Amino acid sequence: MSARIGVYVCECGPNIPDRIDIDRVLEEISPLKDVAVAKRYRLLCSNDGKKYLADEIRSEKLTHLVVAACSPRDHEKTFMKVCLEAGLNPFLFQMVNIREQCAWIFSEKSEATRMAVKYIRAGISRVTLHEPLLQKEIKATPDVLVVGGGIAGVETALSLAGQKRRVYLVERSDALGGTAARLGRLLPHQGTDMRLIQEKIEHAENNENISVFKGCEVEDIRGFLGNFEVSLKRSGGEPPPEMFRVGAVVVATGFALWDAFDPDVTGYGKIDDVVTSLEFEAMSASGKILKKNGSPPRSVALIHCVGRKEKGYCSKVCCLYSLKFAHQLKDSQPAPDVFEFYSDLCLPEKTDQDVFEEAKKRGVRFLRADDIRVEGRNGKIRIAYRDGSAEEAVEVEMAVLAPAMVPAPDSDRLARMLNIPLDETGFFKEAHSMLDPVSAPISGIYIAGCASGPKSIPESVVQAQAASGKILSVLMLGKTLEPEVKVSTIKEELCTGCQTCLNVCFYGAISFDAFRGVSVVNEAICRGCGSCVGSCPSGAISSKQFTYQQLFKEVMEALR
Amino acid sequence: MKNESVLILGAGVAGMEASLLLAAAGRKVHLVEKEPMIGGQLIKFEEVYPHMECSTCMVAPQQQAVLQNGNIEIHYLSALEKLEGSAGAFKASVKKKARYVSLANCIGCGACYDPCPVSLENEFEEGLAAARKAIAVPCAGALPNVPAIDPRHCLFLNGKDTQCRACKDACVFDAVQFEDKDETAVLDVGAVVVATGFGLLDVKQNPQYGYGEGKNVYTALEFERLFASNGPTGGNLTLRNGQTPKTVGIVHCVGRSELGYCSGVCCMYSVKFSRFLKHKLPDVRIREFHTDLCVPGKAYQKFFEKTRSEGVEFVRAETVKIASKESRLQVLYQNGGRGEEVFEADMVILSPAMIPAAGAKELAEVLGIKLDAKGFFAGRPGSLSPVETPVEGIFVIGCAEGPKDIPESVAQAAAAVGKILSLIPHEAN
Ligand SMILES: Cc1cc2nc3c(=O)[nH]c(=O)nc-3n(C[C@H](O)[C@H](O)[C@H](O)COP(=O)(O)OP(=O)(O)OC[C@H]3O[C@@H](n4cnc5c(N)ncnc54)[C@H](O)[C@@H]3O)c2cc1C
Ligand SMILES: Cc1cc2nc3c(=O)[nH]c(=O)nc-3n(C[C@H](O)[C@H](O)[C@H](O)COP(=O)(O)OP(=O)(O)OC[C@H]3O[C@@H](n4cnc5c(N)ncnc54)[C@H](O)[C@@H]3O)c2cc1C
Ligand code: SF4
Ligand code: SF4
């Protein structure tokens, strides 16, 4: 059957006819090969217009449709829907923008008309080369793997688990809760709120729809959104628990504290009673904040920003938890002198400053300090620092270091296994740091909590709920997934196996088939961005709906 | 049976994200927005930190997706008037003001603006712009690109000229409909999400900042519009007399000590302003006056350091005052141990504290929720997640909960969706 192309020029009210001689355009277009009809209409996007177009497609038995109107951003989807309703494959349609690209930019009517003809000819020449692409459907597993059982992982599991959705919660250590469970107190909620964390952990442990694997790590993972195969390994080499299939993965591996600090500068490991913040939390949790000799400290220095310079970022929560320590110390009887050595106080949450003001009222001394050195002197600790140009020093009995938060150990191994990137700080990289902070670049993989950078507990919990929200809106029970249609394909006979495209694809959609020596696109992952097409030195990759032939014909007609 | 529909108040970046995710999950969303357009504050910005991405390009696809989504019903020019019932079965009365222009018929050609005889100040442009008409879109590029008639000023609607039909006559699409009436919609929903955003502290209240008519002292939002290529000057950074500024002072933390909290994002956007300025005026001298620099998280300090390395001066300043000296401005401040210093500037930009959106108090009353001490909506005491308010089934996201930047606003939006989808699962499940 030969092609029957229908070309419809929308007037868009006065917008187009004021500046383009539409009758002239139709005269030029009508005689072209395969053009069955060429007509004008007042407003195709109106309800009457859509109905008219659908009737035309049916009555004229059109095989292809070209609409010359506004920007495809405005109404491409509208007309694709019309095609679908009229029984024409929506990919056999091409939109030509003669409003923004002709009518609104040329001052001469003749020029705008001439260009409109060219663009429409270009559209016609490409549309006959279009393939009737089909929307695929992929079956998906609703179950989810959560890697890391800190507060972010636990909250994710609790928000997702349900009667028909199992969550596999994999924790490397032998306990759930991560750092949050090891704290003595919680800010911004003062007092006994540690109960909240414990309750969450218990709920996760007792939830019949959550399978908790403690002392385990992910051994291998393959697949894509809706269908990942996971195998675990147990530390200590015991037999791996099982293999299972999930539809999505949440990375909630948290953080570690930077520990590469110089003992000569910080005194850590060299001078008694110089401890890290987490060691202080452990003392606080046990209820005994004591020096090595068993007596309570009469003066304590809290040193912020340890490693901030080296790491090149601010860890966001250290100021707040140092304030928490100050309050806690001031709660004890007799209350010790407390000195906070800080660079800039970072108190970005709306209640943080109250905690600071309160600490000031309780006599905590705040010292803005550079070049801090912790020295041992006659059994005391001397904190030497610079305040502007002056050299100063304070003697204390205990010093608490607040080291920078850094990525959890082995994050790079997990990243490689999942084929997702880390950023220059070593934390997991977000799909879009502004608009999509809880997704990894690969569909089906999400990031929550400190795995993507330093955060407080409330923020980590929000991210856990956010990742759950994203998953629940994608992996709906009883629904199939509809992947991108305009994907890339690689011609095996042309592919030399150079693997350039593997590195170019931001979404990790391309893998290398070592057996056949060629690269392969996974159509379930590909988003059709086209980056790989341009990168392939052999021209082996083409993108559906943007083939070389289509583009060539289109450009040639536009230039002719 | 629980109602699966959701009411979202506010169509900023947070409200739009929540709407899209819920709609993707098959939920019916009622998105209530007080303006005739969607997008919130972000559509005022040229670029956003830290990657200096074009802001409108970033949100336009999101706005389009909201407009084109069949599950999202947008109620423009609307406000929640009454809420009854409880989680899973709320009854919401939404008061919708008439737009007087048909969303179905209007194609946004703009033919109606010129004929309109009324000229008004344009609020969207922070008063910087030339006038707008009584029939107008709030800003260039507004989405949806459909004007609304301001009934207070339209001569026909306010009765001053019963003959004026200028816009109606100009419209060939028959989109102007004077017969539109305000109406009240009663909606059944299972959950409510508050996403009403923030406002900025009114600097006029405090003479210390030297803000006043005709002066080259700008608020942060004014400066955003001044820099925006779709703004009143087409992005030309000029003083009120048309000259190019050679020295600029940027004052952080305006109102922080009075209000008792740090707004978390002003340091970053102030540094962004220096980037803007350096980009367009490479020789400009800039001094930023800050208290504590707040550049939290893994990416922000680098942004600050890079800006400083381009020659922007950062000084720690207390008790900042702005005074006029002839045609120029003076920034007087205490510089720690060094005592009082003075910086002469052609232009001063104030970064005022972020405060609750206008009307937050009234809205809280309608919702039956207590605001926190600072006037923001807040999470339930005893919950680790700030998006869960004390009233079950009502959530708060974005800057309505407190000052924050885009990623945190968006994360809270998705978090509320996570809670809603898990608390009110689809009945067929
Ligand atoms: C000293 C200190 C005090 C703090 N005090 C407060 C406070 O008062 N208030 C507050 O809001 N925040 C506070 N914070 C911050 C808070 O600890 C974090 O926000 C929170 O712990 C982040 O939770 P998470 O789940 O993202 O990470 P984590 O707590 O780090 O948990 C991650 C979990 O993942 C596991 N894991 C890592 N890698 C793997 C892997 N490959 N496979 C399997 N499992 C893995 C880890 O073993 C760990 O259990 C404090 C932080 C510190 C350091
Ligand atoms: C000068 C400035 C520059 C900034 N620059 C950046 C930046 O570069 N990068 C960054 O990450 N962040 C930046 N921010 C922060 C950013 O603006 C916010 O994070 C973001 O706008 C929050 O989105 P939101 O949806 O919560 O609120 P908003 O954007 O304020 O949206 C709220 C919406 O609700 C509507 N509304 C209000 N009240 C009601 C009501 N009662 N009923 C119905 N609707 C209502 C409003 O009309 C609006 O559409 C900046 C802020 C300022 C002030
Ligand atoms: S088109 Fe884009 S997403 Fe698809 S394989 Fe190529 S680079 Fe990857
Ligand atoms: S109301 Fe009519 S004239 Fe005005 S923009 Fe809409 S379509 Fe154009």
Determine the CATH number of domain A5-133: 3.40.50
Q: How many residues does chain B have?
A: 429
Q: Do B261 and A465 touch (CB under 8 A)?
A: no
- Give percent of chain A with pLDDT exceeding 70: 98
**Mean per-residue pLDDT, B78-103:** 97
The predicted model scores a pTM of 0.93
Residues of chain B contacting residue A473, judged by C-beta atoms under 8 Å apart: 21-22, 24-25, 417, 421
Query: Is it the case that residue B429 has pLDDT exceeding 50?
Result: no
Q: For chain A, where do the domains classified as CATH 3.30.70.20 start and end? A: 488-544
Q: Exposure pattern of B131-158 as b/e (b: 16+ CB <10 Å)? A: ebbbbbbbbbebbbbbbbbbbebbbbbe
d(CA B395, CA B400): 10
Task: Give, using CA atoms, the residue closest to atom 26 of ligand 2.
Answer: B398
User: Where in chain A are all domains bearing CATH 3.50.50.60?
Assistant: 144-254+408-472
Name the pLDDT band for B212 (thresholds 50, 70, 90).
confident
Is pLDDT above 50 for B69?
yes
Mean predicted lDDT score pLDDT of chain B:
94
B243-257 core/surface letters (b: 16 or more CB in 10 A; e: else): eebebbbbbbbbbbe
State how far the Cα of A491 lies from the Cα of A521, in Å rounded to an integer.
10
Backbone CA torsion sign across B379, B380, B384, B385: negative
**CB of B36 shorter than 6 A to ligand 4:** no
> How many CB atoms within 10 Å of residue A496?
13
Q: Which atom of ligand 3 is nearest to the CA of A527?
A: 3
Residue in chain B lying closest to A158 (CA):
B422
Does 3.50.50.60 match the CATH number of domain B6-97+182-197+357-423? yes
Residue nearest to atom 3 of ligand 4 (CA): B171
Give me the CATH code for the A263-282+291-308+318-389 domain, please.
3.50.50
pLDDT, position A524: 86
| Cα(A261)–Cα(A269) distance, integer angstroms | 10
Q: Are A434 and B410 contacting, i.e. CB atoms less than 8 angstroms apart?
A: yes
Q: What whole-number distance in Å separates Cα of residue B44 and Cα of residue B50?
A: 17
Q: Which superfamily does B202-353 belong to?
A: FAD/NAD(P)-binding domain (3.50.50.60)
**Quick one: which H or E segment has residue B36?**
none
User: 3-state DSSP call for residue A320?
Assistant: helix
Is pLDDT at A13 greater than 90 in this prediction?
A: no
CB A519 within 8 A of CB A511: yes
For the ranges A52-56, B82-86, B104-108, the lowest mean pLDDT is seen at: B104-108
Query: A51 — contact with chain B (CB < 8 Å)?
Result: no
Measuring CA to CA, which residue among A163, A230, A149, A509 is closest to residue B429? A163
pLDDT band at B203 (very low <50, low <70, confident <90, very high): very high
The length of chain A is 560
Does residue A426 carry a pLDDT above 50? yes
| Ligand 1 center to A365 CA (angstroms) | 29
SS3 A262: coil
Give the contacts of A520 (CB within 8 A, at least 6 positions apart): A490, A510, A511, A512, A513
pLDDT at position B131 is 81
CB pairs under 8 A between A and B: 210
Model pLDDT for residues B154-185, shown as the tens digit of each residue: 999 999 999 999 999 999 999 999 999 999 99
- Tell me the residue ranges of DSSP E strands in A363-475: 365-368, 370-377, 380-387, 390-396, 398-403, 405-407, 445-447
Interval A232-242: pLDDT, tens: 998 776 666 67
pLDDT for residue A550: 95
Q: Give residue B194's pLDDT.
A: 98
Span(s) in chain B for CATH 3.50.50.60: 6-97+182-197+357-423, 202-353
Percent of chain A's residues with pLDDT above 90:
87
Q: A316 in contact with B at a CB cutoff of 8 Å? A: yes
Q: What pLDDT digit, counting tens, does each position of A339-374 carry?
A: 999 999 999 999 999 999 999 999 999 999 999 999
A218 vs A213: CA distance, rounded Å: 10
**Quick one: average pLDDT of B34-42?**
97
- The stretch B216-223 carries a mean pLDDT of 95
Does residue A191 have a pLDDT over 90? no
Strands A5-10 and A35-41: parallel
Measure the N-to-C terminal CA separation of chain B; round to a whole number of Å. 13
Question: Amino acid identity of B328?
Answer: R
Helical (H) or strand (E) element with A149:
none
Cα A95 to Cα A72, A76, B48: the distances in Å are 6, 7, 32
Phi, psi (rounded to 5 degrees) for A374: -105, 120
Structure tokens at B183: 């109406």
In angstroms, rounded to a whole number, what is the distance separating the alpha carbons of residues A464 and A459?
A: 9
Q: Is residue B92's pLDDT more than 90?
A: yes
Question: Would the pLDDT of A521 be above 50?
Answer: yes
Average pLDDT, chain A: 94
Cα–Cα separations (whole angstroms), residue B421 to B231, B304, B367, B393: 40, 39, 21, 11
Q: Which ranges of A60-149 would DSSP assign to H, the alpha helix?
A: 72-85, 109-127
E strand or H helix at A90: none
Using only the alpha carbons of chain B, give its radius of gyration: 23
Domain A488-544 CATH assignment equals 3.30.70.20: yes
Q: Which residue of A349, A388, A438 is in closest CB contact with B411? A: A438
Q: What is the pLDDT of residue B2?
A: 87
Helical pair A47-59 and A72-85, crossing angle rounded to 10 deg: 50
How high is the pLDDT of residue B82? 98
- Phi, psi (deg, nearest 5) at residue A28: -75, -35
Three-state SS for A166? coil
User: B4 near B190, Cβ under 8 Å?
Assistant: yes
In this complex, is the C-beta atom of A461 within 8 Å of any C-beta atom belonging to chain B?
yes
Judged by DSSP in three states, B273 sits in helix
- pLDDT range class, residue B325, cuts 50, 70, 90: confident
The two structure tokens encoding residue B249: 């002072």
Predicted local confidence at residue B427, as pLDDT: 67
Rounded Cα distance, B43 and A190, in Å = 39
Query: What pLDDT is attached to residue B428?
Result: 55
Output the pLDDT for position A192. 53
Chain B residues in contact with A312 by the CB 8 A cut-off are 301-302, 305
CA A121 from centre of chain: 41
Q: Which fold has domain A144-254+408-472?
A: FAD/NAD(P)-binding domain (3.50.50)
Report the alpha-carbon distance of residue A153 to residue A170 in Å, rounded.
9
- Note the pLDDT tens digit of each residue in A443-497: 999 999 999 999 999 999 999 999 999 999 999 998 999 999 999 999 999 999 9
Ligand found nearest the CA of B198: 2
- Determine how many CB atoms are found less than 10 A away from the CB of residue B226: 23
Would the pLDDT of A20 be above 50? Answer: yes
Q: How far is the CA of A223 from the centre of ligand 4 (A)?
A: 51
- Written as six digits, the tokens of A292 are 């090595």
- For residue A348, what are the contacts with CB-CB under 8 A and spacing of at least 6? A316, B262, B264, B265, B294, B296, B403, B404
SS3 (DSSP) at A336 = coil
**Quick one: CA dihedral B4, B5, B7, B12, positive or negative?**
positive
